[in-house]
Amino acid sequence: MSDSWKSYDEAAEKGPLSIIFKIFFAVVAFVVVTGVVGYGLGWFGEAAQVAQKEFGATAALQKYEWFINQANAIKKADKDVKMFEDRSAAVDEQYAAYGSDRAKWPPDVRLQYNHEKQQVRDDLVAVASTRNTLVEEYNAQSEKFNWTPFQTRPDKPSQKFEDYVVK
């Protein structure tokens, strides 16, 4: 400790400029070391913030609510698919009086049947496509989600849905 004061005494003997430089470089060294340490600790702090944001209780609850909402959207799409399947069967029943051999149907009736049947099929394909997109998003997110904290919840949605294939 006496050696460090000795160097300050020597710098003071050389003049005020020498001691100012000595103090200035000591302050600069302190600021640089403090900055490097602070920067390094900032990385750890940022990593902790990211972990909290992605895996904290709030994030888990928001993700779980997303699964609930997405599962409800898939169930609604299932009902829409069923509605269009029923509509397709209703079109067949509506024209059943003309017989099973469509080649014997009057051309205007056959044209009307084909138009209605195609419209129902187009609607069914659109709804099935939307449903399958919802399912793909759901299943992809489900693979990444930790379901363990929610296993005992009575409203827990399915962990996976199957695609719908138009027949």
In a domain, 110, yes or no: yes
In a domain, 155, yes or no: no
Stated pTM of the model: 0.63
Query: Domain total for the chain?
Result: 2
pLDDT at 8: 60
In a domain, 106, yes or no: yes
pLDDT at 101: 92
Helix, strand and coil content of the chain, in percent to the nearest 5, comes to: 85, 0, 15
In a domain, 135, yes or no: yes
Q: Are residues 112 and 131 in the same domain?
A: yes
Q: Are residues 88 and 43 in the same domain?
A: no
How crowded is residue 5: how many other Cβ atoms within 10 Å of its Cβ? 9
Q: Are residues 42 and 67 in the same domain?
A: no
Half-sphere exposure of 44 (CA within 13 A, CB side): 4
Q: Are residues 80 and 9 in the same domain?
A: no
DSSP state for residue 149 in the 8-state scheme = G
pLDDT at 1: 47
Q: Are residues 32 and 75 in the same domain?
A: no
Contacts of 162 (CB under 8 A, 6+ apart): 135
pLDDT in tens, 54-103: 777 888 888 888 888 999 999 999 999 999 999 999 999 999 999 999 99
In a domain, 31, yes or no: yes
pLDDT at 3: 61
In a domain, 159, yes or no: no
- Residue 24's domain comprises 2-51
Q: Which residues of the chain have pLDDT under 50?
A: 1
